[in-house]
Structure 1
Amino acid sequence: MMTRTRPAVCPGSDGAPLPSGRPSASPPPRPRGGGAVRINEEFPVACHSRLSPCRPEAVPSRRRTDGRRRLPCPLTASAASAPVRAAAPPVYAYTADINAGSGSVIDTATNAFTATVPVGNAPQSVTLSPDGTRVYTANYLDDTVSVIDTATNTVTDTVSVGRSPASVKVSPDNSRLYAVNYIGDSVSVIDTATNTVTATVPVGNAPQSVAVSPDGTRAYTADSDANQVSVIDTATNTVTGTVSVGRSPASVVVSPDSSTVYAANSYGDSLSVIDTATHTVTGTIPTGNLPRSVTLSRDGPAPTPPTSSTTRCR
């Protein structure tokens, strides 16, 4: 008895062999009046590419004139060619080089320096737009913000802001840029489409940092000389509240769900935890000496290890 087997490699897949196994003892009947055409008119094809799932239902076969069957016809190019996964785009790091008055561009794949972009005097802070098309630097001694096109690594615009901008952040929807002015005790709100200042919001003394909530409804500033965090309503560009924290807050960050703000108190050697619903400090965490910056992991808290009492699904 002649045993019919499936092809060793799934047509249109990435070359992975199909599972081995004996064919069914009773092959399915030949379709009549339509239905899927079968390889050698008996065995259907079901193939899966790790790049892109495909299920060609039919691969026609040919008969030789002498009655013997040929191998199945190859799939057409449209069916056999699985889409090729595009290479990951390069990832670049950008630095604000204070004494050089420039920004540096670094290819993180090779750790190679690729470009220098001249900006304003004493760039104090740098931030990237959510869509990755623009980089902004806060030029502390120029009272300006430089706008850098990441495709060309050139400055396309310079925006005048308040006195001594120390930090910049872009809103999640990419529409606004917030620059905190350390000597100006204010926040400049910039329309990123026109690169113009649309509002100036007074805050506490010597703001050093700004953060925008992921939902885009609030901005928070670390007012270092006032020992407070100011809360800005981004719809009205007004301060709706202030929260007393530790001594000399230098940095703020907002949790992914916008429910909590963390302020690093540089001279207080602590981290203040703020409930954004009530604008109150719910905890103070001791840190090392002179904390200057704070950030959060993207994946949230570490998962709790399973215990012996954990219920298992079956």
Structure 2
Amino acid sequence: MKVLNFCRITCNTVLVVYLSMSLALAGNPPVQNTGNNAKENATQTQTVAPPLRAFIVNNDLNNNGKVIQCAIDPTSETFSNCSDTGATKLNSPGSIALNADGTQAFVVNYLNNTLIQCAVNPGSGEFSHCSDTSATKLNGASGMTLNLLGTRIFVANTWSHNVIECAIDPASGEFSNCDDAGVTGLKAPCDLTLNPTETRIFIADLNDNKVVQCSVEPTSGKLSNCGDTGATGLDAPSSIALNPDGTRAFIVNGTLHGKVIQCAVDQASGMFSNCSDTGANKLDVPTSMTLNAAGTRAFIADNKADNVIGCKVNPSTGAFSNCQDTGATKIHVPWYIRIQS
């Protein structure tokens, strides 16, 4: 069952529409400065890696929305010390993307079609110096994905049924040369992700119940040779993630009591096969998911239940188990989740 514009509707509206339509990380080990004598050995210093963090986009129209950060326990993957990142210039934020070292965040504003960039303090998760990136041609922008160098971003335009790509100045975070990436035939693209080699992009098309794949031209960012991946079991797909080696895709069905579907990915052709339910449970209206760096744990934002569910992932089969509430607090109408890894 399709849920029109699901990927950018508030929780209450989603339920009305749905019912009316019948519906990795343990961190690097401490680095010790080993001296050459007993005194130096006795006064060894330690450098502690920043904690693993989750960033959750609250799409709360009553207060313009927030981005919440939570520390993740690397042994249990429970969340703690959740707080507002302090992100400013928000207006119904829809998604977030982080650069490779987690020092820069990009947040798209759905209502006024702007894209904000903020500096991130890796130690505290706090945002600062938020400013408009000057991104253009946004129209109901939703999911985003960055290349590893942080020099190009792809944005799913839900209302315009297309994908926009922009060049990024990594130093300033400013965008330039934003343009239609060239994919056609989309009905409501909601989320997208690049494969590890950045030669292929996968787009969750919510209103067409498909995942579309395209080849990526590395210099221009243009998309070509687009086609259906053949994924099955989809119902209003609102989010997509790949495991670390790009051989398995996980797709969130953004419906009431939605499921998470996993599919094997042929890296040569981009085609999906052997799709099945992961077995994720405790879900009400899931909207977005992300994996830890090892691909052994999934975190799923639940828009209706105002929580984040964590599940163990079997890397060999893609099956989920031991799904539990992470204990995240300050969550209200969560729409998108990403991990600083």
TM-score grouping bracket, smaller chain normalisation: 0.5 to 0.7
**1:279 paired to 2:270:** yes
* Matched residue type, 1:271: I
**1:256 paired to 2:219:** no
In structure 2, the partner of 1:293 is 288
What secondary structure sits across from 1:230 in the alignment?
strand
Give the direction of change, closer, same or farther, for the CA distance of 1:171–1:85 in structure 2 (3 Å limit).
Answer: same
Give the direction of change, closer, same or farther, for the CA distance of 1:278–1:164 in structure 2 (3 Å limit).
Answer: same
Percent of counterpart pairs with the same letter? 18
Structure 2: runs of 5+ lacking an equivalent:
1-30, 73-79, 122-126, 297-312, 317-341
Question: Using the alignment, how far apart are the partners of 1:258 and 1:303 within structure 2?
Answer: 12
- TM alignment of 1:169-180, pairs within 5 A: 169-180=145-156
Once the two structures are superposed, residues 58-81 of structure 1 have per-residue CA deviations (whole angstroms, 9 ceiling, x without a partner) of xxxxxxxxxxxxxxxxx597x667
Q: How many Å apart are 1:281 and its aligned residue?
A: 3.0
In structure 2, the partner of 1:156 is 131
In structure 2, the partner of 1:199 is 179
Q: How many Å apart are 1:206 and its aligned residue?
A: 0.2
Question: Using the alignment, how far apart are the partners of 2:52 and 2:212 within structure 1?
Answer: 34
In structure 2, the partner of 1:145 is 115
Once the two structures are superposed, residues 256-299 of structure 1 have per-residue CA deviations (whole angstroms, 9 ceiling, x without a partner) of 11223232334584615142333333122135676543444543
Give the direction of change, closer, same or farther, for the CA distance of 1:112–1:262 in structure 2 (3 Å limit).
Answer: closer
Give the direction of change, closer, same or farther, for the CA distance of 1:185–1:145 in structure 2 (3 Å limit).
Answer: same
Question: Using the alignment, how far apart are the partners of 1:76 and 1:210 within structure 2?
Answer: 55
Give the direction of change, closer, same or farther, for the CA distance of 1:232–1:120 in structure 2 (3 Å limit).
Answer: farther
Q: Are 1:134 and 1:149, in contact at CA under 8 Å, matched by a contact in 2?
A: yes
What secondary structure sits across from 1:225 in the alignment?
helix
In structure 1, the partner of 2:64 is 101
Once the two structures are superposed, residues 156-215 of structure 1 have per-residue CA deviations (whole angstroms, 9 ceiling, x without a partner) of 333234210111222222222221111111111122214124432234110111112222
Structure 1: runs of 5+ lacking an equivalent:
1-49, 57-74, 305-314
Question: Using the alignment, how far apart are the partners of 1:114 and 1:292 within structure 2?
Answer: 20
Q: Are 2:264 and 2:275, in contact at CA under 8 Å, matched by a contact in 1?
A: no
- TM alignment of 1:104-119, pairs within 5 A: 104-106=67-69, 108=71, 111=81, 113=83, 115-119=85-89
More helix by share: 2
TM-score (normalizing by structure 1): 0.63
In structure 2, the partner of 1:243 is 229
Q: Are 1:230 and 1:239, in contact at CA under 8 Å, matched by a contact in 2?
A: no
**Root mean square deviation, CA, Å:** 3.3
Total equivalences in the alignment: 235
Give the direction of change, closer, same or farther, for the CA distance of 1:231–1:80 in structure 2 (3 Å limit).
Answer: same
Q: How many Å apart are 1:139 and its aligned residue?
A: 0.9
**1:134 paired to 2:104:** yes
Question: Using the alignment, how far apart are the partners of 1:53 and 1:139 within structure 2?
Answer: 49
TM-score (normalizing by structure 2): 0.58
Question: Using the alignment, how far apart are the partners of 2:87 and 2:158 within structure 1?
Answer: 24
* Matched residue type, 1:293: S
Once the two structures are superposed, residues 219-247 of structure 1 have per-residue CA deviations (whole angstroms, 9 ceiling, x without a partner) of 21101112221223232521323224323
**1:187 paired to 2:163:** yes
Give the direction of change, closer, same or farther, for the CA distance of 1:218–1:115 in structure 2 (3 Å limit).
Answer: same
* Matched residue type, 2:176: T
What secondary structure sits across from 1:138 in the alignment?
strand
Question: Using the alignment, how far apart are the partners of 1:52 and 1:302 within structure 2?
Answer: 37
More strand by share: 2
Q: How many Å apart are 1:135 and its aligned residue?
A: 1.0
In structure 2, the partner of 1:85 is 46
